[in-house]
Structure 1
């Protein structure tokens, strides 16, 4: 999941799945599920769909909208799944009820040719890659999650919220460097999911499982030195701490695990409160009233 601010336009910003070569033991994850890169693709294989396929805000009001491009032949099943389950539409609805960015920000389903899902500030659009869905499904299935439909939906939701965090950093011109912005986008994704109660908590747990599985399959040598994201296991632990801090009574199984040891658990409520309040302060000019 990446965002290229204009100042960094010359940097590589594809989604790098962080590689950490150690397994995670002891965390029970109730799974019911996150990716970044530049916009692009094969112009011969993708084209915009009709406007009737889009989900838009009310007339005269800017905001997040959903659009789909025709998939490459290899991505047709993933594109059909995305349209049928509508996780982008659900995410856009939640975003629209929460903030008014004052401009249109398109969330576009498309074939990306391996580039990865991302926000592009030049076009003001978030691309969600059909080909990413196939990769996520395969990752979960190798991890023993069959069927993996709910997990894939949750990954799309967390991805859209993460990239929306980048879009709002752009809208508000928040002064983050690349790594700080990635961390802030993760916190925004957690904020949007945790606003949705039990269903959002399940999806956040599934996003954690995706990071765990990715890390367990990876080798340290695979990590791109230019990757601005935190390591996958760090991202997983941070999401878990926010989840536990926001709703400890519903998530007691998260306490004192390999990723969330006792000494960190004690501070998770405060950690979650700081993350939530920092975003609410930054979003104050565009929050829905």
Structure 2
């Protein structure tokens, strides 16, 4: 599970480079016409042998293409954004601000599936596991894309950029209403599981919120956006009642901060 971040290990692989209009998707073998109108260029690198199934899964489910299309439908950028999907050998997704470069990792598909499988072995039916993977990979892509947008559009950041990027992921998922709510909750569950199963203790200062806090933040945004559908989230283990009371206001502020920042760049029509 990725910590997320500007130069960070993570869950997904993308290479984001600023570009102007976006033109299709490319892999080693040439163009992929199914995303010609997405506004973002995508490149699939040849996967390591152990990542072939994960690469096939991402392509089959069009996880990267659909997330990229969602961003392109919302925002116009003056520079091109390219996305690369690669084998990371456990390093996780990352964003390099000097190169405006993001990587999304094939191997995080297996890592995410295993994270959920260990937590709920009795509920690890294939469709549920696949849906959880798609949700987490979409959240990763949106998070890393946020860093690229901050750089290429010179956006004003509200608070810490890592938290701001998480909030963009929430914004993009919650734009899909009920489906997006379920996906953001799956991503929150992944952060929670990463927090409770992580045995590595890192005392180094970090610009990211803890995995546990990120889980609660995402649940708060879901609850704030649609409290009537998610009353069951309010519990000491998921979303403390005191936090839940302010989630409506909190989510409105999060959404407003991103939409205000993006206002000059929103796609017309």
**TM-score bracket for the superposition, by shorter chain length:** 0.7 to 0.9
Q: Give the distance between the partners of 1:229 and 1:38, measured in 2 at CA.
A: 21
- Per the alignment, do residues 35 and 93 of structure 1 end up closer, same or farther by CA in structure 2, a change over 3 Å counting? closer
- 2:5 maps to 2
Q: Give the distance between the partners of 2:69 and 2:149, measured in 1 at CA.
A: 16
Aligned: 1:284 with 2:263: yes
- 1:120 maps to 96
- 1:107 maps to 83
Match of 2:136 among 151, 155, 160: 155
Deviation of 1:252 after TM superposition, in Å, equals: 1.4
- 1:131 maps to 107
- 1:275 maps to 254
TM-score, structure 1 length as denominator?
Answer: 0.79
Deviation of 1:257 after TM superposition, in Å, equals: 3.5
Q: Give the distance between the partners of 1:54 and 1:122, measured in 2 at CA.
A: 30
Greater RCO between the two (CA within 8 Å, min separation 6)? 1
Aligned: 1:49 with 2:28: yes
- 1:68 maps to 44
- 2:153 maps to 172
Three-state SS of the structure 1 residue aligned to 2:221 is helix
Q: Give the distance between the partners of 2:101 and 2:14, measured in 1 at CA.
A: 12
Q: CA RMSD in A?
A: 2.5
Confirm or deny: 8 A CA contact 2:14 2:104 kept in the other structure: no
Q: Give the distance between the partners of 1:2 and 1:37, measured in 2 at CA.
A: 13
Q: Give the distance between the partners of 1:209 and 1:259, measured in 2 at CA.
A: 9
Q: Give the distance between the partners of 1:121 and 1:155, measured in 2 at CA.
A: 23
Deviation of 1:121 after TM superposition, in Å, equals: 3.2
- CA deviations 1:133-158 (Å, max 9, x no partner) are 11111111111141311111111100
Deviation of 1:68 after TM superposition, in Å, equals: 0.6
Correspondence list, 1:1-289, <5 A? 1-3=4-6, 13-15=7-9, 49-53=28-32, 56=35, 58=37, 63-144=39-120, 145-146=123-124, 147=126, 148-174=129-155, 176=157, 180-219=160-199, 222-223=201-202, 225-289=204-268
Deviation of 1:113 after TM superposition, in Å, equals: 1.9
Three-state SS of the structure 2 residue aligned to 1:2 is coil
Deviation of 1:119 after TM superposition, in Å, equals: 2.5
Confirm or deny: 8 A CA contact 1:105 1:126 kept in the other structure: no
The runs of at least 4 aligned residues of structure 1 exceeding 6 Å deviation read: 36-39
Unaligned runs of 5+ in 2: 17-25
- Per the alignment, do residues 234 and 154 of structure 1 end up closer, same or farther by CA in structure 2, a change over 3 Å counting? same
Q: Give the distance between the partners of 1:261 and 1:270, measured in 2 at CA.
A: 16
